[in-house]
Amino acid sequence: MSIKVRRLSYALGASVTGVDLTRPLDDATMAEVHKAWLEHLVLVFPGQDLTPEQQIAFGKRFGPLDDHKAVPFYRHPEYPEIYLITNHKIGGKSSETKDTGRLWHSDHSFTTRPTMATMLYCREIPPVGGNTMFANTYMAYDTLSDTLKGVLEKLEAVHSIAYYTAGHLQDRNPEQIAQMRKASPPVAQPVVRVHPETGRKALYVSEMMTSHFVGMTPEESRGLLQFLFGHSVRPEFTYRHAWNVNDLLMWDNRCVLHMAPADYTHEHPRHMHRLTVLGTPCGRAYEEAG
């Protein structure tokens, strides 16, 4: 099987056709897909009518999957590998994942085994909006001055689920938030991350999860972090995906930020099946000095 790859934007993103993900892919086709993924960072597979089992089987070709034990209350009731991002009511209550991902981030950067790949499968989408945006953090790093690169390569930054939940998830169940914080204490991540497969350098900070630099106070860190947050998502570094039902989209969290803008109303359904492939160890447990 020979796949067809069409670029979707200047910075990142490509559409992949000529592949049927309802069937197991042979090794040669998988090698083509993997090569395209490393080159384009975000791949879109349109028109894939997948069962949960088929999505999980494809995900496992890239590595072991997260079973979401840290956030079990948002899992698919039958498939723990699938995390539900939905505005459907759950148990008669408003879904707590309906506004997930409103800020730029890289999945699970607040752990010492951040996500390698995320695969998001569209089951329902509003007639307008419900988009997802992506940013190429290779480009973000490459376009910095050599002087600033030298400064950043010596720094670590603190990533914390507590930082995010304190400022943005006050409407969620407090017991569930406490469980999430206990399961994922703060970690120190390199500000410049070297991709384990390509060897390229990428910025590794995000407005959602990064609170401050190790060895600095939040006040001392704020100015440089705010610059990096804005620089990382300059328009020329981004791709905005307008979903169609049965799109499967996968991205590389080691060199991509993403976010879901509030560009639609919850009067219309938006229902996604997300799975995440565990990455290699990165970062270290962090404890505040003194």
Express each pLDDT in 157-180 by its tens digit.
999 987 665 555 555 566 665 666
Specify whether 68 is catalytic.
no
What digits encode the pLDDT tens for the residues 230-283? 999 999 999 999 999 999 999 999 999 999 999 999 999 999 999 999 999 999
Which residues on adjacent β-strands are paired with residue 118?
251, 276
Which residues on adjacent β-strands are paired with residue 73?
none
Q: Which domains, and CATH codes, for the chain?
A: 4-87+97-280 (3.60.130.10)
Is this structure's pTM higher than 0.75?
Answer: yes
pLDDT value of position 242: 98
Average pLDDT score over residue span 106-128 = 97
Q: From the CB of residue 178, how many other CB atoms can be counted at a distance below 10 Å? A: 12
Question: Please, are residues 82 and 271 in contact by the beta-carbon 8 Å criterion?
Answer: no
Query: Does residue 86 have a pLDDT over 70?
Result: yes
Average pLDDT score over residue span 17-32 = 97
Which one is catalytic: 68, 105, 231, 270?
105
Question: Please, are residues 245 and 124 in contact by the beta-carbon 8 Å criterion?
Answer: yes
**Residue 71 pLDDT grade (very low, low, confident, very high; cuts 50, 70, 90):** confident
Mean pLDDT of the chain: 92
Helix (H) / strand (E) element for 231: namely: helix 218-232
User: How far apart are alpha carbons 120 and 173 in whole angstroms?
Assistant: 25
Which one is catalytic: 107, 108, 181, 231?
107
Which one is catalytic: 40, 258, 270, 271?
258
Specify whether 105 is catalytic.
yes
